[in-house]
Amino acid sequence: MSETQISIEGLKRVFPASEDDGDFTVFEDVWFKVNKGEFVCLIGHSGCGKTTLLNILAGLDKASAGSVIVDGEEVDGPSLNRAVVFQSHALMPWMTAMNNIAFAVTSKWPNLSREKLRAHCQKYIDLVRLTGSESKKPSQLSGGMKQRVGIARAMAIEPKIMLLDEPFSALDALTRGSLQDELLSICRETVQTVFMITHDIDEALLLADRIVLMTNGPGARVLEIVENTMPRDRTRHDMHKHAHYYPLRNHLIDFLVERSAKFQERISAPDYDPRKPKVVRPGVVAPRTLDADADEVATAATSQARA
């Protein structure tokens, strides 16, 4: 489990100068690792270069400095080992759901027989519970169903790593919830390494083993890494009853509301090392409030986080 699969080392992305502006550094000196089988979420405000970072990981964009090492090799362009689920699903509208997945599958295994191809695609359509909608075009599918196809397409090529770029942000809360549950169960079954971008705190808490917090741009960095101290078999329905839920959640809200913008003082502190972002485990060091009264837990956690 602790074997490193993705190592991001000193990553920096500069967008070239526009006419009256200087060079624009989106993020710099970004270091963190993702272990094999781990689910890591990246949280940050818009404009901190989350999508740019994911594109570099996917090989669609090039870093200005630093590198991404995957399984001991430097990323130099896209690869079938890293599947991407795009924010806007990016399905081809002229292909049926089945053919969208088949397009990906034949890209990985070009010599598959017709029957094997169908069976393989069907397996993933069933996995994301789209059985019966195989021959529908994306325009005939709802937003949630489209994103399911997007996830099925990414999983169908059996990648070593899945990269998800805010996959559920365009969906309504109910659809989002059920898709999160499904993604969670799929990932637990397949022990998949996943790197996901989100700005939804509950989503990160439900799905992620570790949550990377990025400061605001320009010049964004990794502020710290939050370890999810809740048990791995948590569900959307019982997660909030866990004693660590509110300390974790408050810590993240605190970060998004205040600390992400006031990062200068934090990263100029002498103990800040961009290569080893501080790992925090909210909840664990806090006095265990076993009382189920949520308000009390929240108050305790907030005072803990502010201390």
Partner 1 sequence: MSRSNHIRALLLSIVLLLAFGAIWQIAVSMGGSGSAADMDPEYAALMGATAKGQSALPGPLTVLAQIWDHVIDPFYDAGPNDKGIGIQLAYSIARVLVGFGIAVIVAVPLGFVIGMSPLFYRALDPFIQIMKPVSPLAWMPLALYTIKDSIVSSVFVIFICAIWPMLVNTAFGVASVRKEWLNVSKTLEVGTLRTALRVILPAAAPTIMTGMRISVSIAWLVIVAAEMLVGGTGIGYFVWNEWNNLSITNVIAAIFFIGLIGMVLDLILGRLSRLVAYAE
| Amino acid residing at 23 | D
CB of 6 to partner 1, least distance (A): 16
Q: Evaluate whether 65 touches 10 at the Cβ level (below 8 Å).
A: yes
Per-residue three-class SS string for the chain: CCCEEEEEEEEEEEECCCCCCCCEEEEEEEEEEEECCCEEEEECCCCCCHHHHHHHHHCCCCCCEEEEEECCEECCCCCCCEEEECCCCCCCCCCCHHHHHHHHHHHHCCCCCHHHHHHHHHHHHHHCCCCCCCCCCHHHCCHHHHHHHHHHHHHHCCCCEEEEECCCCCCCHHHHHHHHHHHHHHHHHHCCEEEEEECCHHHHHHHCCEEEEECCCCCECEEEEEECCCCCCCCCCCHHHCCCHHHHHHHHHHHHHHHCCCHHHHHCCCCCCCCCCEEECCCCCCCCCCCCCHHHHHHHHHHHHHC
Binding-residue total with partner 1 (CB under 8 A): 24
3-state secondary structure of 230: coil
List the x/- string, 157-196, binding to partner 1 by CB under 8 A: x---------------------------------------
Under the criterion CB under 8 A, does residue 259 sit at the interface with partner 1? no
Window 70-89: residues binding partner 1 (CB under 8 A): 78-80, 82-84, 86, 88
Position among 41, 104, 151, 225 found at the interface with partner 1 (CB under 8 A): 104
Under the criterion CB under 8 A, does residue 15 sit at the interface with partner 1? no
Q: How many CA atoms lie within 13 A of 38 on its CB side?
A: 20
Under the criterion CB under 8 A, does residue 124 sit at the interface with partner 1? no
Position among 16, 22, 72, 93 found at the interface with partner 1 (CB under 8 A): 93
Window 140-159: residues binding partner 1 (CB under 8 A): 157
Contacting range for partner 1; rule: CB under 8 A; set: 40-48, 100-108, 168-176, 225-233: 100-108
Position among 58, 75, 208, 300 found at the interface with partner 1 (CB under 8 A): 58
Distance (Å, rounded) from C-alpha 47 to C-alpha 50? 7
DSSP single-letter state for residue 138: G
CB of 124 to partner 1, least distance (A): 15
Window 260-299: residues binding partner 1 (CB under 8 A): none
Contacting range for partner 1; rule: CB under 8 A; set: 6-14, 101-109, 127-135, 221-229: 101-109
CB of 167 to partner 1, least distance (A): 13
CB of 57 to partner 1, least distance (A): 11
Under the criterion CB under 8 A, does residue 136 sit at the interface with partner 1? no
CB of 153 to partner 1, least distance (A): 8
CB of 209 to partner 1, least distance (A): 24
Give the nearer residue to partner 1 in terms of CB position, either 108 or 240: 108
The footprint of partner 1 (CB under 8 A) covers: 58-60, 78-80, 82-84, 86, 88, 90, 92-95, 103-104, 107-108, 137-139, 157
